[in-house]
Amino acid sequence: MDHPVHEWWLTDGGCLPVHDTEETGGLRILVAGATGYLGRHIVRELNDRGHHVRALARSPARLEPLRAAAEEVFTADATDRTALAGCCDGVDVVVSTVGLVGKGGRQTCWDVDYGANRNLLDEAERAGVARFVYVSVVRAPALEKLQLVRAKRAFEQALRNSGMAHAVLLPNGYFSDFDAYLDMARKGRVFLFGDGGFRINPVDGADVAAAAADAVTGDADEVEIGGPDVLTHEQIAHQAFQALGTTPRITHVPAWLLASALALMRRLTPLRVHGVLEFPLTVLTHDVLSPATGQRHLADHYGQAAAGPAG
Ligand SMILES: NC(=O)c1ccc[n+]([C@@H]2O[C@H](COP(=O)([O-])OP(=O)(O)OC[C@H]3O[C@@H](n4cnc5c(N)ncnc54)[C@H](OP(=O)(O)O)[C@@H]3O)[C@@H](O)[C@H]2O)c1
């Protein structure tokens, strides 16, 4: 993208705007969750479209690969309201991908998927931000009762109630999550629950980022996003072996074992642990389908990943 190079600001609890929207016509956009898989795609996509990105991150060092794409950095943990003060000053649009994905910690999904996004929304309202784009998750009957999804739906509701112009993105599982199949295939064996027949249409982060960038300037309230191919988990496992050029070795684990493990986990572990684990484990044993809006194919992603260094 041909627009003037700006200074790289590393601020702690404050941020100095360096915009030139008149020159490029781009919007000033805060991307929260910029260090994540999707966040990185979104920062690059917005920069490519001529927008000015302020990246919100807990660990700015993790933004180093985005140095050319993000003009500013605002350092804060989004669950800390005080630390967020000023993060939206001078910003036209907020895009948030902040959420707990697959890893537990001290925080629960209610602290992060609801609470952190609620803090961002409050700060956006205070600063007079015009639009809030929130990356939530696919709607699927089996997922709606899970704590993580309930926390996200609660934030979606808060966003609707706020009266701020907004878009809620409802993407299916990202390719990054399906790298687990490639990792297992590299080790020689893929484990599947049940007969591996449950279906999903995973989507590339680049396709979700394009939808998020469209939502920044569009007027849709809600955007469902899925990859172009509806695949069973068995087919996904075969694609992983095919990309590596190795013989498929698949072990089917009885689905009831997973159901029992989940029930036990909910009883024996705190919400901060089972709240993040029950989501991916539930996806393995249910159909999770979205409109096929994405362009990129999982087989091509596996082909590229298999050709690169083992992860
Ligand atoms: N992965 C999927 O298949 C999938 C599918 C549908 C929807 N989603 C949703 O899409 C969003 C992005 O997913 P992803 O796969 O890109 O996840 P990811 O790689 O784990 O990224 C999550 C981002 O949120 C940030 N974050 C977490 N807690 C934070 C906090 N307290 N304060 C500030 N930032 C915080 C993380 O920062 P750090 O780098 O500091 O941890 C990271 O930048 C999530 O909300 C997820 O639920 C994911």
| Residue 170 maps to a domain | yes
The confidence score (pLDDT) of residue 24 equals: 59
| Residue 309 maps to a domain | no
Choice from 30, 31, 35, 103 to test ligand 1 binding pocket (greatest atom count within 8 A of CB): 35
Q: Is the CB of 202 under 6 A from ligand 1?
A: no
pLDDT in tens, 197-242: 999 999 999 999 999 999 999 999 999 999 999 999 999 999 999 9
The confidence score (pLDDT) of residue 80 equals: 97
Nearest-angstrom CA–CA distance, 236 and 185: 11
Q: How far is the CA of 36 from the centre of ligand 1 (A)?
A: 5
Q: How far is the CA of 136 from the centre of ligand 1 (A)?
A: 10
Nearest-angstrom CA–CA distance, 239 and 230: 13
SS3 for 256-309, per residue?
HHHHHHHHHHHHHCCHHHHHHHHHHHHHCCCCECCCECCCCCHHHHHHHHHHCC
CB 44 within 8 A of CB 24: no
Q: Is the CB of 269 under 6 A from ligand 1?
A: no
| Residue 311 maps to a domain | no
| Residue 2 maps to a domain | no
The confidence score (pLDDT) of residue 10 equals: 44
Q: Number of structural domains, the chain?
A: 1
* 302, two tokens: 């596996």
| Residue 31 maps to a domain | yes
Q: How far is the CA of 33 from the centre of ligand 1 (A)?
A: 6
Helix 271-283 with 147-162: angle, nearest 10 deg: 100
| Residue 4 maps to a domain | no
Q: Is the CB of 198 under 6 A from ligand 1?
A: no
Tell me, what CATH number does 49's domain have?
3.40.50.720
SS3 for 192-233, per residue?
EECCCCCEECCECHHHHHHHHHHHHHCCCCEEEEECCCCEEH
Nearest to 85 by CA among 56, 105, 63: 56
| Residue 1 maps to a domain | no
Choice from 64, 101, 110, 155 to test ligand 1 binding pocket (greatest atom count within 8 A of CB): 101
pLDDT in tens, 6-30: 334 444 444 444 444 455 579 999 9
Instruction: Name residue 260's amino acid.
Output: S
pLDDT in tens, 183-201: 999 999 999 999 999 999 9
Output the average pLDDT for the chain: 91
Assign 103 to helix, strand or coil. coil
| Residue 90 maps to a domain | yes
Q: Is the CB of 137 under 6 A from ligand 1?
A: yes
**Can you give the residue range of the structural domain that contains 65?**
9-304
